[in-house]
Amino acid sequence: MADSINTDKPRELIASDRVEGTAVYNLNGERLGTITSFMVDKRSGQAEYAVMQFGGFLGIGADHYPVPWQKLTYSTDHGGYVVDLDKDTLEAAPRYGHDDDAPEYNADYDRSVNTYYGLGA
Amino acid sequence: MADSINTDKPRELIASDRVEGTAVYNLNGERLGTITSFMVDKRSGQAEYAVMQFGGFLGIGADHYPVPWQKLTYSTDHGGYVVDLDKDTLEAAPRYGHDDDAPEYNADYDRSVNTYYGLGA
């Protein structure tokens, strides 16, 4: 995507190692957890998933949840990302435990996570 | 290493904290240095710059060089990124020393780096 610099609304850049650790909130402004890392398309450089960790909020474990980047909205007010996901959605969402258990993000996994969140085909 | 057969060319994802540390090569396959981090558009999630550190290669200091992501090509052979940049280009390129000296990536800086590399307007 060669989106060149838009003078009207300058893009806001953040260092990759600062995205890691950024807080995530729900629509009510409650802090759900943090982004531990994100999955990037090697070639295009497009972030496709934020991997979120929820600190046992509402009984949801501290697992890693890959959430499609499109589901995130950056909130200047919060200084973090807002996701419109409810407890039921998260409870059944694709996840894994430790970082070492991270799945291979191959085409099948990619498709299955996107499908879960109602994206892609 | 199993060579993957590329049929449909699914996107290949890599964790953000694994991009950090990925090697960078020149067109001759010489290792120039590594990506220390990358700058991402907060909202779109698009990587706009790779911040590279060159370990004193060819007399170029170990400074941090923000290079537009479009200048990078991922090479499966190298397992890293290839940049088509010669010594003269790098010697005069925008850079900063320590991480703490990182500039604010505001619209002006953004434009100036892009212009240096002949991108954007």
In chain B, the residue whose alpha carbon lies closest to the alpha carbon of A46 is: B46
Chain B residues in contact with A5 by the CB 8 A cut-off are 107, 110-111, 114, 120-121
A46 within 8 A of B47, measured Cβ to Cβ: yes
Give the E-state strand segments of chain B in sequence order.
Answer: 13-15, 23-25, 31-41, 47-54, 64-68, 72-75, 80-83
Question: What's the pTM value of the predicted model, to 2 decimals?
Answer: 0.85
- Contact (Cβ atoms closer than 8 angstroms) between residue A5 and residue B121: yes
Chosen for mutation from B22, B34, B44, B67 (greatest number of chain A CBs closer than 10 Å) is B44
What are the pLDDT digits (tens) for A61-90?
578 999 999 999 999 998 899 999 887 888
What mean pLDDT comes out for the span A44-69?
83
ipTM metric: 0.84
3-state secondary structure of A106: coil
Mean pLDDT of chain A: 86
**B15 contacts A102? CB cut-off 8 A:** yes
Distance from the A92 Cα atom to the nearest Cα atom in chain B, whole angstroms: 23
